[in-house]
Chains A and B, each alone.
Chain A
Amino acid sequence: NAGVMQNPRHLVRRRGQEARLRCSPMKGHSHVYWYRQLPEEGLKFMVYLQKENIIDESGMPKERFSAEFPKEGPSILRIQQVVRGDSAAYFCASSPSASLEQYFGPGTRLTVT
């Protein structure tokens, strides 16, 4: 059973470009969570999704950031018009239900130049 997969692992974007981060949850998991981690800091919650629904986006910046988890395919975290402050590691986690532990992917490290 493959774990949570994220791609790309590393992403470099110039200021003003768009970044699209993908997350494929573990098989059988329908709950996806996105977190952001700055260097030497803990993970900060961004958004929680179930298939086709955003359940909690209280940690998501109001502008430029969006997330989706379509019926088919991976969850996508989209950052429009990236700025240097968006440089961070973005982790996706999945769980089989709205309880218990979340399983994390390896992360996407976004660098904005």
Chain B
Amino acid sequence: GESVGLHLPTLSVQEGDNSIINCAYSNSASDYFIWYKQESGKGPQFIIDIRSNMDKRQGQRVTVLLNKTVKHLSLQIAATQPGDSAVYFCAETENTGNQFYFGTGTSLTVIP
């Protein structure tokens, strides 16, 4: 399978600070990317997605940045809250509707 990896396995931030979670991918043909949040004992929850024809996409308190030149994806969470504590996965696919390749995950801990 393709390599989708994360730079940091764990991240701790103070409540109210901004969080940045990074992800590298190796398949230059990947054209669709998703960030998922997974809380302990639960299934992954969709956060935000971005297609390869975009560089940036914003949601509620979250922003995804895509740098196709260096094959890098990041998730920015503004004003991080305790409820944001979870494992975050990036996933990418070359052909939508088929398999997604998931990274190992980054565990985000928010310190009150």
Residues of chain A having any CB pair with chain B under 8 Å: 4, 6, 31, 33, 35, 40-45, 48, 55-56, 58-59, 91, 93, 95, 97-107
Contacts and interface: CB of A to CB of B under 8 A. Distances in A.
Q: Give the size category of B's interface with A.
A: 20 to 34
B97 A31 contact: yes
Interface stretch (B37-45, B54-62, B72-80): B37-45
Contacts, number: 65
B67 interface: no
A97 B96 CA distance: 9
A42 B105 CA distance: 6
Contacts of B49: 100-101
A48 B36 CA distance: 19
A61 B109 CA distance: 35
Contacts of A42: 4, 89, 102-105
Contacts of A56: 98-99
15 contacts: A42-B102, A42-B105, A45-B101, A56-B99, A59-B1, A95-B97, A98-B96, A98-B97, A99-B96, A99-B97, A104-B43, A104-B45, A105-B43, A106-B42, A106-B43
A25 B103 CA distance: 24
State the main secondary structure of chain B at its contact with A. loop
A91 B104 contact: no
Interface of B: 1, 4, 34, 36, 41-46, 49, 89, 91, 96-105
A48 B96 contact: no
A86 B2 CA distance: 22
B66 to A, nearest CB: 16
Nearest to B48: A101
Given A42-B89, A104-B44, A55 B104 contact: no
A105 B46 CA distance: 11
Q: Please name the 6 residue pairs, one residue from A and one from B, whose CB atoms are nearest each other, closest first.
A: A98-B97, A45-B99, A42-B102, A104-B43, A99-B96, A43-B102
